[in-house]
Amino acid sequence: MKRNNCQGLPSRMPDNTAFQQQQLPACRPSLTARAVLPGFFATGVSFLGMGILLILSAKSVKEIEITYTDLCSNCSKLRENASNFYKECTCSIPFFIPEKMPGNVYMYYKLHNFYQNYRRYIISRNNRQLLGEDNTDVENCAPFQRASNDRPIAPCGAIANSMFNDTILLSYYPNSSTGINVPLLSSEITWWTDKHVKFQNPKSSNLSSAFAGTAKPPYWRKPVYQLDQENPENNGFLNNDFIVWMRVAALPTFKKLYRRIHRIQQFADGLPAGNYSLDISYNFPVTVFKGEKGVVLSTATWSGGKNFFLGVAYTATGAMTWLAAFSLMAVHLKLKKKKASFQC
Amino acid sequence: MGTDGGARRKETAAREEGDQGQEEPRRHRQQQRHRRRRESKTRTVRSNLLPPPGGGEPDVATKGAPHRWWWSQGGSQYLADNRLKTTKYTVLSFLPKNLFEQFHRLANVYFVLIALFNFVPVLNAFQPELALAPVLFILAVTAIKDLWEDYSRHRSDHEINHLDCLVYCRDEKKFVNRYWKEVRVGDFVQLRCNEIIPADILLLSSSDPDGLCHIETANLDGETNLKQRQVVREFLELDAEFNPLKFTSIIECEKPNNDLSRFRGNIIHENGKKAALYKENLLLRGCTIRNTEEVTGIVIYAGHETKALLNNSGPRYKRSKLERQMNMDVLWCVLILIVMCLFSAVGHGLWVRQYGERKKPLFDVPQSDGSDLSPVLAAVYLFLTMIIVLQVLIPISLYVSIEIVKICQVFFIHQDKELYDEETDSKLQCRALNITEDLGQIQYIFSDKTGTLTENKMIFRRCTVSGIEYSHDANARRIAMYQEADSEEDEAAPKGGTLSQRGSIGSHQSVKVVHRTQSTKSHRRTGSRAEAKRASILSKHTAFSSPMEKDITPDPKLFEKVNECARCLEIMRNQEKSLSHLTPELADIFDFFIALTICNTVVVTAPNQPRHKVRVRFELKSPVKTIEDFIRRFTPSRLTSGSNSGSSSSLSTSKSTHKTGSSFLSTLSTESTLLKLEAGLTRSSPKMNTNGYGVQPGGGWATENGLKEGELRYEAESPDEAALVYAARAYNCSLVGRLPDQVSVELPYLGRLTFELLHTLGFDSIRKRMSVVIRHPLTDEINVYTKGADSVMMDLLLPCSSDDSRGKHQKKIQSKTQNYLNFYAADGLRTLCIAKKVLSKEEYACWLQSHLEAESSLENRDELLFQSAIRLETNLHLLGATGIEDRLQDGVPETIANLRQAGLQIWVLTGDKQETAVNIAYACKLLDHDEEIITLNAESQETCAALLEQCLYYVESKFSDSEVKKSLGKVNVGVASLHPPSPSAATCPNLGLVIDGKTLAYALDKTLEDKFLSLARRCRSVLCCRSTPLQKSMVVKLVRNKLKAMTLAIGDGANDVSMIQVADVGVGISGQEGMQAVMASDFAVPRFRQLEKLLLVHGHWCYSRLANMVLYFFYKNAMFVALLFWYQFYCGFSASSMIDQWFLIFFNLLFSSLPQLITGVLDKDVPAEILVTVPQLYKSGQNTEEYQPYMFWMNMIDATYQSLVCFFIPYFAYHDSDVDIFSWGTVITTIALFTIILHLGIETKTWTWLHWTACSFSILIFFIVALVYNASCSTCFPPSNPYWTMQRLMGDPMFYLTTIISSVVALLPRFLYRTFQGTLFPTQLQLGRQLARWGPKEFSVHKDTISQQHPVGEQGLESTASKGSDTSGPHPQDHSPLASQSGHQPASVTESRSGHRTANVNAQSLKNTVMDSLRGHSPVPQRPEGAVQEGPPGDSEGESSTREVSPLSSILDLPDFSLLNWISSTPLFNGFGRAFRFSQSSLQTDVLGSTFFSIGSQLDQDLKGLKRETSDCFQEKVKGTAAVCHNSENLETTFL
């Protein structure tokens, strides 16, 4: 046979290593009351603290929400009928800000019941087209790939087609008669990477020639290169509103950043308290799907918007942990007593 | 061809048979098909060298054309050739066939189908290529594994097929070397000594003058003794050498079948003469030729048609129990999945419908052609899409992970040092990769006996002659030395230089060498048993002759007496005095040794290679012998009365031999024989006399082959015969030659004596004895020497009158001998009684007449022969008795006891004789002496049925009895156990069942099997003797199928193969007898005792690891999938997922797989040492406690909860924000990953650095992958296109805050549950874990203190304790020697306990409670009722004498008591503990008895109080202080 039986260590003897003998040094945590008590108390404390912190910070956020579907009911009705597509409809909504909104103030539009996460909706887009590589690349964009004249739609797909196209203006009324337009910025409302990496206009001398040979999405009034004719940086695929819209919302009720307040003049410290009004050019139909839309003005903190949930959740969990800790302690003490009784 | 080659061949041949098993069923089926087609029942074989019957080509045979073999009827039919093929695939067929087989696994079909769904455009949820990747990966892994396995099978086949053997070649007119695979039916094969038989061969010629051939059938039936096979009679008488060319006969025989013990056929010679063939003529494939130089035969069956291969019932596809259960749950998962999908589909339909036909919202995208889907169609599509999206619920990686985990588990089992055996340099082999966890769930163990429990080495231990015991202390020491030397060697090895120790061994050894008179020195260089054993393995062909068995150190006293006796005899012979001058004692001693030497069937061989039989024929052709000769010459091969007849222990049944003989004897006229006999007898006496004397000095003995004294080897059919002969040789009374008609013995001073052998009445299991009738050369008397079981022998003794002194003396001797016999038996020795009878010539003549009549009668010859034997064996004169030890393997009793404690039921199935088996069963504590034993021996179906009925009734009545008691005990424990355990209680359901093979055959009949089973399962132990391999497997199958129990079969020989294959888990013992059992087994261990670690530790671990992993898998997938499901409520049930498809597909495969694999491979719920010391923990596996159906649902509920948390916390946290879908999805993925890994953390019981690494690695890899993937491409992977998502999230505090809170909230309930449960109601396993927390070191220290304080703590308690045990214990006092021993044991335990108590009471009390509740099964508060209920099953497995105790002690919750229980449960203290518990029991009983009457509803509180009280009291008592608290009088009386 291969091996020599008589001499040396037997070759088949397994190695005596801790790993092979399954004797690796190990810690064996045992989940007994005593062992976990400190952890429970510590968790409780830190969670309570965090919860309070979060609640406080959420409380500091000032937020105003104006749902204007019903307030502009005439426009809503008008939009229900597709034949009124090109009819203008504007709507002005006065509102009052009771407290000053300090710091950066953001303006969002909010849609209720709009299923941007609907599966066939999500997949109906083409990232390569949006990158400006090839206008004719309309793969995956069904059914909004090509217009009736067989031109490729730019931007193609259902998401682009259904872009939110209300325009919202904010006016401030320091006194009852005269209104000042609140300066709104549309820059930097997108992710930096979206604006600079994911969305690019096709390379060409000017935009209209770049999009020559393409059709506008059927629900759009203007072709893509006319989205913002004043600012070429904000036109075409690079239009901020467009980019924001293309980032699909997670839930059927969502808000999207629309503008931020330009902090100049009397708005340098945010929005002062007082009377304001929204001037809305109402284009986006929502009543068809029993939806609603609104405008949200909000400040921001490190922990996001005015959402108390996390704070409450932390506080509640912290409290629960303490409760559990106390009951564990009770159990532990009882058992200890019992054990002690054996010893005497 | 040297020994080495032979050994290798044997191994390969053995391997072949094991492997062939796998191919077998198919072959078998094929064969059955053939059989149906053909009508003929016989096969005809003719020589290959002849032209085929139809003429045609003259010489096809040598050309090797395959179609040389023809069926005589039915035209051309290809016979199986000798090629072995066990592979499944060929190069071409691998891919399709393997894929086909893989698709038998439903899961694979499912996954492929799902992957293919992705290619349907309407449904495509993922990128189809991406979806296919995991499936392909998994298929590929499995395929590679299969390929590798098949290749190794092919290699082993190839090796066997290419073994050489000699086949006659027509062209060359001589035998030439051929491969095994080229051997065909009809070929002539020549075999040499120690060669393995390549096919089933009809023996036509042998180099043995008597036409015999010895074979060893170890590979077939596990019996290592030699069997004789006989040349076909006509060829025996051939004068010239056998010439295959002249063989013209035609052989008609049975179709290939699997009956090893039967072969029927005829040989038709050319002249039309027909002669019968028997199984004695057939050499079976796989056996080894021994002792015979050269044999030639014709191949009858080849290849897969050989009996050896047909006898291997093929293996089932083994799927572990856990896996079966898991598959059930997989089906549940499928159901859940379908429900989820249906729900979504309906939801989607409704959702679509709510918008109506007209008002299509912007986001409801029409189809590509612009048309809208109807809600119903949308729902249908969605259903399919949902299946794709939620497919993860059926864990695709589950199967792969399980395979990986099992492979790793197998690796670790392989690597275990404790499963390595140094002696044979073999370690455990796992041959089945997929049933490791079954090891943790075994309920029944079926064990072979010989070679499995025992070492199959018979060692002469002690004897008693004419009432005087010769204890052979030196011999006992010698045997002990083998073990010591061994263990010391073990110790010495790591230390490196304990030379002094070794030296001392050496010197001891040399002393003994002097003692030994005749020994083979080759094996004795060192005292190491390992060495000796290795040597004995090398020289395997000498059956039963390891030095341990051969070198018996004689008892000096007896040795002296033997010498004296011989001296006297010599003087007397010289003086021509009658032998009666010898003192009776010396005469007895002389006769005793003569009987040991000749009353057997041992064959003497010389050790030369090839081994010749020693032929020292003393030509004694005097007319005296006419009758004997006459008979002998007309009997084929001295089968009727010859000395070498196949004994009952061989494969042959004595029936057939007798038949062979009888056909011839019947032709004789009885009268003439008798007449001649009488004449012969009268004339013979004077001549013999002179012969006997005259021969001695002249040295008329011829020795062949330059035979030297001391180099003789004895080959016996049963090892104890050899042991006795070796024993006699140690006293210089050595057997030097045996021929059919004479036995020669070498004696000191007297030289060689030759005994004329008149008759051998072989052993049978009914008479339980064997006898030889000889003519004594010194006295010329006709002597009968009988040896047999004491149970029968004692009744056959000459009744001695108590009148004269001689009679009295004899009576005294008898009673003394009986005492010693009982003592031997109690010691686990195999006892034999030796007796003698002197026949007068008249008596002999008279008996011979009737005997010959019996032999020649046609009807019920067996019966008559039996009667005849009984007539002879009466009025015997007792000479003495011997005690032989069939050495148990190390640690067998302890292992059995431990396995029993673990709740395993152990059955022993053996081919051995009933007596032997029972003996061994006692020795290894399988049966207990105070156990009632039901023996089932039935001769017919009816009697068997009646017997079973009766026993069942009996047992049931007993059972109901005890049942009543039990129920009584439940109500009022005190009453039931108030009376000290009475003898009636001792016999409760404490039953052992012994059944023999014949009865087993009846009992296994369809009509009786239920009864048999219901009887057997009530017995604590079952012992099946004389069972055939097939019966063994039937028993296993019966238990497996009817009781739905997990079975494990363990065996070492080929006779265990089918049983091993049938059982859920088959274990082979490697290194003893061939490799066949190993090859058929799932696991092979070197020693039986390693089964303990294999089952209790590895089995438990594997089970618990895998069970936990599977449960975790289900949880994990359910939890992950549920996240997606909840999202459907917020996306219009549109099957969109917020989780990126990459994450979705690789979450299981990549991110969360490693930690669970590590845990599945490395987690140890309880450390090994605890598992071994507390075998009860094994029950968790038997009861499938770790994986119960409800646990699946609990996990599902937990998964639902956790997913709700993990979904809704981010939902609300990001509610009303501008989060986009994939950012939000990534948050959820992260949360899910953390939760899942932390969940595993909670479930992991042992954390090594590997666990830490795996968990951190998983999290790390998730982030790395996410970051890289999210940065890699801005346009790829539509629709998610998650560019920069993760990067952005990681800059947002919300992300971390949400992740932390979600994970914590999700895991809090489980964590709390585990904590509360672990604190309040810890399971057995958790307690075991806590026990381990004291650490192995302290643990062993703890044990050490106990043992060390043994001598220290003497406080005068000896007497009290031992008294206590005596008065209270139901200890059997029938064996006086034992009883006195046991008297000491309790005392020593008390010492240790008292010493220990003072040292440890306070420190250990916590531990005590832990131990206590460990033993008592149920958590503390529920103890009283629970423990009582639990008790009885527990104690039926424990020691019988402690039956009353264990439940009580667990009720009492006395720390010290329980500690003692604990101590005694450790193997170390087994014996002590048992004895001690008696006193304990009495104490507790009484205490309880006095207080329990008044206990009503307040049982609990009272008990607690009582506990404390009693413990205090006991404590003080133990310390020897004044007995302050007397709970009752009983206590006092028993204790003081």
If you average pLDDT over residues B916-926, what whole number do you get? Answer: 80
Chain B residues whose beta carbon lies within 8 Å of the beta carbon of residue A33: 1315-1316, 1319
Reported as a single tens digit per residue, the pLDDT across A50-90 is: 999 999 999 999 999 999 988 888 888 888 887 888 888 89
The beta strands (E) that lie in B1390-1490 are given as: none
Residue B979 pLDDT > 70: no
B1215–A251 CB contact, under 8 Å:
yes
Reported as a single tens digit per residue, the pLDDT across B485-511 is: 544 444 433 433 333 333 333 333 333
B1319–A33 CB contact, under 8 Å:
yes
Helices then strands, each counted (H, E), chain A: 9, 12
Residue B1069 pLDDT > 90: no
Written as six digits, the tokens of A273 are 């308290």
Q: What is the 3-state secondary structure (H, E, C) of B93-140?
A: CHHHHHHHHHCCCHHHHHHHHHHHHCCCCCCCCCCHHHHHHHHHHHHH
What pLDDT score was predicted for residue B223? 58
Residue A309 pLDDT > 90: yes
Chain B residues whose beta carbon lies within 8 Å of the beta carbon of residue A252: 1130-1132
What pLDDT score was predicted for residue B1256? 94
B1316–A331 CB contact, under 8 Å:
yes
Q: A10: which DSSP letter? A: -
* Residues in contact with B386: Cβ distance below 8 Å, sequence separation at least 6, in sequence order: B340, B341, B344, B345, B1128, B1135
The beta strands (E) that lie in B428-509 are given as: 429-430, 444-447, 454-465, 468-470
Written as six digits, the tokens of B992 are 């052992």
Please give the full DSSP string across B305-353, using - where no structure is assigned. GSHHHHTSPPPPPP--HHHHHHHHHHHHHHHHHHHHHHHHHHHHHHHHH
Residue A32 pLDDT > 90: no
Task: Find which of B1218, B1242, B1506, B1513 to mutate to test the A interface (most A CBs within 10 Å of its CB).
Answer: B1218
Chain B residues whose beta carbon lies within 8 Å of the beta carbon of residue A145: 368
CA distance A320 to B706: 96
pLDDT class of B94 with cuts at 50, 70, 90: confident
Considering only B820-824, B1396-1400, B1403-1407, which range has the smallest mean pLDDT? B1396-1400
Residue B1230 pLDDT > 90: yes
b/e map of B167-197 (b: 16 or more CB within 10 Å)? bbbbeeeebeebbbbbbbbbbbbbbbbbbbb
Q: How far is CA B1267 from the centre of its chain?
A: 56
* B1052 annotated binding-site participant: yes
Closest chain A residue to B532, measured at CA: A6
Distance from CA of B1224 to the nearest CA of A (A): 7
Closest chain B residue to A106, measured at CA: B1218
What pLDDT score was predicted for residue A321? 94
pTM (global) more than 0.90: no
What pLDDT score was predicted for residue B160? 83
B448 is annotated as an active-site residue: yes
What pLDDT score was predicted for residue B238? 64
Strand order in the sheet with B42-46: B42-46, B250-254, B265-268, B274-277
What pLDDT score was predicted for residue B1435? 37
What pLDDT score was predicted for residue B366? 79
CA distance A315 to A225: 50
Helix axes B128-161, B94-102, angle to 10 degrees: 120
Residue B38 pLDDT > 90: no
- Find the CB nearest A31 among B361, B1246, B1315: B1315
More confident site: B55 or B596: B596
pLDDT class of B312 with cuts at 50, 70, 90: low
What pLDDT score was predicted for residue B962? 53
Assess contact for B986 and B925: CB atoms under 8 A. Answer: no
Q: Which of B1444, B1523, B1527 is nearest to B1487 (CA)?
A: B1527
CA distance B60 to B1019: 62
Assess contact for A78 and A290: CB atoms under 8 A. Answer: no
- Find the CB nearest A30 among B1215, B1333, B1508: B1333
CA distance B1290 to B1267: 10
Write down the mean pLDDT value for chain B: 70
Reported as a single tens digit per residue, the pLDDT across B829-851 is: 778 889 988 888 888 888 888 88
pLDDT class of B1007 with cuts at 50, 70, 90: confident
Reported as a single tens digit per residue, the pLDDT across B613-670 is: 444 444 333 333 334 443 443 333 333 333 333 333 333 333 333 433 333 333 333 4
- What letter represents residue A225's amino acid? Y
Residue B610: asked if its preceding bond is cis (omega within 30°), the reply is yes
Residue B521 pLDDT > 80: no
Chain B residues whose beta carbon lies within 8 Å of the beta carbon of residue A28: 1167, 1245-1247, 1329, 1332-1333
Reported as a single tens digit per residue, the pLDDT across B183-238 is: 888 888 888 888 888 888 888 888 877 777 878 776 666 555 667 787 887 776 66
pLDDT class of B1429 with cuts at 50, 70, 90: very low
- Give me the phi and psi of B1389, to 5 degrees please: -65, -40
Q: Which of B1037, B1029, B1022, B1031 is nearest to B1053 (CA)?
A: B1029
Reported as a single tens digit per residue, the pLDDT across B574-619 is: 776 665 667 788 888 888 888 888 888 787 766 544 434 444 444 3
Is B408 strand, coil or helix? helix
Considering only A150-154, A234-238, B591-595, B1389-1393, which range has the smallest mean pLDDT? B1389-1393
The beta strands (E) that lie in B663-799 are given as: 713-715, 734-739, 742-747, 751-764, 769-775, 782-788
**Of all residues in chain B, what percent carry a pLDDT higher than 70?**
64
Which residues face B995 on adjacent strands? B936, B1024
Residue B1019 pLDDT > 90: no
pLDDT class of B567 with cuts at 50, 70, 90: confident
Reported as a single tens digit per residue, the pLDDT across A127-168 is: 888 888 888 888 888 788 888 888 899 898 899 999 998 999
Distance from CA of B1147 to the nearest CA of A (A): 21
Considering only A169-178, B131-140, B1467-1476, which range has the smallest mean pLDDT? B1467-1476
Q: What is the ipTM of this complex?
A: 0.95
- Find the CB nearest B1329 among A28, A248, A343: A28
CA distance B35 to B29: 10
CB atoms within 10 A of CB B503: 10
- What letter represents residue B1094's amino acid? L
A12–B427 CB contact, under 8 Å:
yes
Percentages (nearest 5) of helix, strand, coil residues in chain B: 55, 15, 30
- Find the CB nearest A250 among B1138, B1250, B1409: B1138
